[in-house]
A and B are shown apart, each in its own frame.
Chain A
Amino acid sequence: MTDFILKRVAALLLPFIQMYGLYVILHGHVSPGGSFAGGIVVGLAFIAFTTIYGLKKGRAKISEKATALVESYGTLWYGLMGMVGVFKGAPFLANKIAGIDLGELGALSSGGLIGLIGLGVGIRVSSTMITLFFTMIEEES
């Protein structure tokens, strides 16, 4: 696609869309939305970029290897966060009873491990969306 307006508007908007996605991921434990919805927004930003600027430029932004790595380690991150509880002598995925400071209600740094787990999930979801999209359009072409 060579639409000038589309490209300019996308260039202006996409960074903010991504930032919004990150915001939703990071505030998942204190406000509606969360890692899944935020991850989708981040993933969709990449998908929109690829549909507007073409497959080649899209792949240049985020390579196949990068999505594969992020996908694997996003999930592993979740597992590691779960293991924190085990190492502290509490059950898997434990949060408060593993002695983690929950902070003040409503603050960004509250909720103990939940925010960190959400980060892993969000990364994972966005990379999965990107992988799915690329798999489909690459099979077509």
Chain B
Amino acid sequence: MRVLLDELMVNYPYFAAMILFIIGAFTVLTRSNLFKKLIGINIMESAIFLMFIAAGNIRGGAVPILDEANPQTVCINPLPSALMLTGIVVSVSVTAFALALIIRLHQSYGTTDARRIAELRKRWHANEGNH
């Protein structure tokens, strides 16, 4: 028990990431509101970002900028942070694109509920015969 608690205390960012990831995935898969799905996606991606950044962090480390006065300073690993910047850009574009799609869906179906949209589509299929 002590060991487990110690591990939890030391690695708490990873546990936080895990919990966030599960919350996100759960939201995406169970909510039928399109906005909530999108928010779930964003939570899930934040979880991954947190995991990466925690992996690059050194507790007590300095900002990774070259300091000529004392070059021996322990710096955090800047690579995961830089990578996650790219990840954030990607997630911003995914969000923007998804929002645009939601606007289009709302224009044509008049709702942002996935279940309702599926119903309307089925009715449409039955009436039209072909698409």
Contacts and interface: CB of A to CB of B under 8 A. Distances in A.
Q: Do chains A and B touch in the complex (CB under 8 A)?
A: yes
Interface of A: 31-32, 36, 105, 132, 135-136, 139-140
* B interface bracket (residues with beta carbon within 8 Å of A): 10 to 19
Interface string B93-113: 000100110011001000000
A135 B100 contact: yes
A105 B96 CA distance: 38
B96 A132 contact: yes
Contacts of A136: 96, 99-100, 103
A36 B65 CA distance: 18
A36 B85 contact: yes
Interface string B58-83: 00000101101000000000000000
B53 to A, nearest CB: 15
Nearest to B68: A105
Given A32-B63, A105-B66, A139 B96 contact: no
Nearest to A140: B103
Interface of B: 63, 65-66, 68, 85, 89, 96, 99-100, 103-104, 107
B27 to A, nearest CB: 23
A139 B100 contact: yes
8 contacts: A32-B63, A32-B65, A36-B89, A105-B66, A132-B96, A136-B96, A136-B99, A140-B103
A111 to B, nearest CB: 12
Nearest to B96: A132
The 6 closest A-B pairs by CB, nearest first: A132-B96, A139-B103, A36-B85, A135-B100, A36-B89, A136-B99
Contacts of A31: 65
Nearest to A40: B92
A51 B84 CA distance: 30
Nearest to A131: B96
A31 B65 CA distance: 8
Nearest to B89: A36
Given A132-B96, A136-B103, A140-B103, 15 more contacts: A31-B65, A32-B63, A32-B65, A36-B85, A36-B89, A105-B66, A105-B68, A135-B100, A136-B96, A136-B99, A136-B100, A139-B100, A139-B103, A139-B104, A139-B107
